[in-house]
Amino acid sequence: MEGRRFRRQTRTRGQTLLPLRFTHLSNTISCWYCDLKITCFNEPIYHFGQKHSRFLRVWFTIGTGFSLSLLLGVTMVLIWESFTTSWLTRESNKLSDLFDSLLFGVNPWALRFKMSLADLGYMIVATMISVMVHEFGHAAAAASEGIQLEYIAIFLAILFPGALIAFNYELLHSKPRASSLRIYCAGIWHNAVCCAACGLALLTLPVLLSPLYTHGDGPMVTEVSPSSPLSGYLSPRDVIISLEGTKISSAIDWMEITNSLERRSMASPNFDDMKGYLTINRTYCAPKSLVENCEKISSASNRSACPVEHVAFLSIPCFDLNSHSDSTGYCLSSADAVSLKSCGIMGMSESTCICSENELCLSPVQEPGVVWAEITYRNPYNHQCNSSTSDVSEENCQKSFLYVGDAFSLAHSVRLTSYQPRFSFPFGAYIPDLLEKTCVWTFQVSLALALLNSLPVYCLDGESIFEASSSYFTVFSSRRRRLLVRVYFFWGSVITCLVFVRTLFIKFW
């Protein structure tokens, strides 16, 4: 959160509970507000602004045009929201969902799930970078106009952190309106430039890291949660080759395929016959000794009779995979189900069936929301992979296992990176992921900060920008301009509060 800057030094502040004084300024602490004032950057920023004043004025003039356009765009979206959105229900439109996603910096629906400590760390770092870029924009714009900074403050108001810069407000008002607009719009403009820089860095990262890393040869596992259903199979530095027979080149491919599997599983038709739930092209050999001890189910109405952590299977004649006559259903435990070997592909010739006489060919019953995915992976950093014996290399470098469960756990319970180090060195596998996620989080937070300060609400940059630009509305008298400004910010503040309330308390819960 960013406070209304440039005016704090002209207001009379009430007596605080515990004023702390350092050098020339007081760092204030009270029951609802505390701040830390920094003056060591005043002279360097002022000299930088004066030295490059001609270039900076052109730079921030471009930023003024961008910020005014963004302010107009956000205002139009709020007008659309006020007429089309049902505020007290979960119903909304695509524009509303997109606006909420951009405003929060991340997809709001993703906030319903637990954020890891690593993600929290990325968010804190990205927030610090975005706020520093924002405030440096205001400070550099003020310095280029010949205004000396008084201090830079980092504050905490109740539970909301923020930052501001302070300088002579009377000197600012003595400047032309164009100068004031450049200063007010500089923060939003710098956040937009930061987003562009992060996007460019993400696009060029494979080229920049190519001397040390390969890209597009399969996602590499960097972390597997102990509670993950994949923890017994995958480990850090494993490289995933394919998922459900589809070759995977990057972490994005992994997410796209798992999302496709989830949509497919949720769209399973509701057949009355259990045979309609057969998983297409998937059959397994099960020892008769294992099947004999399993609970049998005879009809589709009993498919939910399997105990918890058990999977329903339907027996198939091994030498006629298309025949379903006299099929019997069985309940196998999940641990037994994932250990079964494939016995052929439905619709193929009998030569594809490899089950022995002591085994039954079973096909799993497709339950809505449950995916069956075969994952093939390898460990290229295993020293046995370089063995001259092909059997040893295949055994140790490429393996497969079957995952049975929900697609969300499959997609999010393991961390992947699209980069593989060419050489083995400490923490080498984590550096690209660190850079990539820092850029992604900084892009999201900086975009959210730019949009937040473009909102027509009190105490943010949008208020100062609209007040300064309202002087150009020469068709109105000064009295009508002031009335227009008050109505604009009152309406904008009300609609913005409704957007936040709807997003936080209705969409999330």
Write out the two tokens for 495. 């609609």
Q: Are 472 and 466 in contact (CB under 8 A)?
A: no
Q: In whole angstroms, how large is the CA radius of gyration of the chain?
A: 31
What is the C-alpha to C-alpha distance for residues 322 and 317, in angstroms, rounded to an integer? 8
Helices 94-104 and 53-84, interaxial angle, to 10°? 140
Please list, residue by residue across 465-500, b when 16 or more beta carbons sit within 10 angstroms of its beta carbon and e when fewer do: bbbbbbeeeeeeeeeebeeebeebbebbbebbebbe
What order do you get walking across the sheet with 18-22 strand by strand?
18-22, 25-29, 33-38, 149-157, 160-167
Asked if 136 and 59 count as a contact pair (C-beta separation under 8 A), the reply is no
User: How far is the C-alpha of 169 from the C-alpha of 446, rounded, in Å?
Assistant: 27
Residues with catalytic roles: 135
- Strand locations in 15-117, DSSP E? 18-22, 25-29, 33-38
